[in-house]
Amino acid sequence: MNASATPIPVKIVVAGGFAVGKSTFVSSISDIDPLTTEAAMTKASEEVDHLGDATGKTSTTVAMDFGRVALSQELVLYLFGTPGQDRFHFMWDELVRGAIGAVVLVDTGRLEACFPAVDYMERAGVPFVVAVNAFDGVLRHHPEDVREALDVPAHVPVLVTDARHRAAVRDTLVGLVRHAMTMATADA
Amino acid sequence: MTESDTDDNFRAFRVRPYLLTGGRTRAAVDLPLEALVRTTESGHASLANQSRERHQIVSLCASPQSVAEISAHLSIHLQVARVLVGDLVQEGLVATHVASTEKTTERPDLRLLEQVLDGLQSL
Ligand SMILES: Nc1nc2c(ncn2[C@@H]2O[C@H](COP(=O)(O)OP(=O)(O)OP(=O)(O)O)[C@@H](O)[C@H]2O)c(=O)[nH]1
Ligand SMILES: [Mg+2]
């Protein structure tokens, strides 16, 4: 077996509220048509889920869409879009494990939809950037207003993106990786 | 629909995904979503004798695929894919890059992040 022929996988999580543009963001940069994987609720997570009935049985599955970007011969980036509701947080634990970090997408029309994601990433110590998706190129709020409204710490970048455009998505990912590097340097 | 009908449906839904794994819900090896799986030479040689899902995995991973991709392409739950891949890893029919638990909980180090940055900027 030639082990060097297998690239190293890295991943980035794309989080945010309902219909904020997560799937669009992933598909704009993915080499493949985004795929969907389903995960069933695990035992431990039943405690945090409120759909489960009294006996702890639950039929909840979570669908995640994801894309794949070849960064070089040796490196593959996976982008996982994840549902934003609190009850899917069990999936986030799994998603952020070993991840470079997260992009939290924000629709300025519904800022509050991304609270859970910002909150989660902060508490989990996951490097993240907040990316304001300028729907139709219209930015209804200045990024710094968004920072203030969401109470995003000063060291976390608040960027403007456009989920439909590959270059904008790439720049957002670059912003996240730079931020992750800063955090890795600070930790070391 | 009666109460017991609902119950039966519920049970069927819960059980069916794991029929493929003989009821096992835990994988033999720790496999993150993005772990890349690649068919080994013995894997290629074994193809003729594999059951449907195992055959699909072994042929799919001729070019490296993540556990998430395997789950998506075979339309099986992530955890089921993990159990099947875990078996194949133990039997030496596929190999995976990310092996150690400790390693996969860590964030990528600076060197790896620099490579990612270079890669993104060259897109
Ligand atoms: N005009 C405009 N539409 C957008 C933009 N980004 C996404 N959309 C549209 O908004 C809708 C939701 O986008 P998705 O990418 O599916 O959002 P999502 O966050 O994946 O949604 P859920 O997975 O359902 O939570 C789709 O119809 C997109 O085409 C944008 O920047 N501008
Ligand atoms: Mg979506």
Q: Is the pLDDT of residue A19 over 50?
A: yes
List pLDDT tens digits, range B5-43.
444 444 444 446 677 777 777 777 888 899 999 999 999
| Residue B57 included in any domain | yes
User: What is the token pair recorded at B102?
Assistant: 């400790």
Encode A171-182: b = buried (16+ Cβ within 10 Å), e = exposed: bbbbbbbbbbbe
ipTM, two decimals: 0.87
Pocket of ligand 1 (CB under 6 A): A 18-24, 81, 133, 135-136, 162-164
| Residue B5 included in any domain | no
Task: Identify the pLDDT of residue A85.
Answer: 67
pLDDT band at A188 (very low <50, low <70, confident <90, very high): low
Environment class of residue B26 by beta-carbon count within 10 Å: exposed (0-12), middle (13-18) or buried (19+)? exposed
| Residue B112 included in any domain | no
Chain B residues with CB within 8 Å of chain A CB: 10, 13-14, 17, 32-36, 38, 40-41, 64, 66, 68-69, 71-73, 77-79, 81, 95, 97-98, 104-110, 112-123
pLDDT band at A47 (very low <50, low <70, confident <90, very high): very low
CATH 3.40.50.300 is the classification of domain A7-41+60-187: yes
List pLDDT tens digits, range A120-170.
999 999 999 999 998 776 777 788 889 998 889 999 999 999 999 999 999
| Residue B32 included in any domain | yes
Task: Please give the angle made by the CA atoms of A100, A104 and A109, to the nearest 5 degrees.
Answer: 170
Cα four-point dihedral sign A130, A108, A147, A143: positive
Mean pLDDT of chain A: 84
Q: What global pTM score does this model have?
A: 0.86
Environment class of residue B104 by beta-carbon count within 10 Å: exposed (0-12), middle (13-18) or buried (19+)? middle
User: What is the token pair recorded at A11?
Assistant: 């991943």
* Ligand of minimum distance to the alpha carbon of A22: 1
Residues spanned by the domain of B31: 14-99
Q: Return d(Cα B9, Cα B72) in angstroms, integer.
A: 24
* Residue of A18, A23, A29 best suited for mutating to test ligand 1, as the one with most atoms within 8 Å of CB: A23
CA of residue A88 to ligand 2 center, whole Å: 14
Environment class of residue B89 by beta-carbon count within 10 Å: exposed (0-12), middle (13-18) or buried (19+)? buried
Per this entry, what is the length of chain B? 123
Q: Is the pLDDT of residue B2 over 50?
A: no
| Residue B21 included in any domain | yes
The total number of structural domains that make up chain B:
1
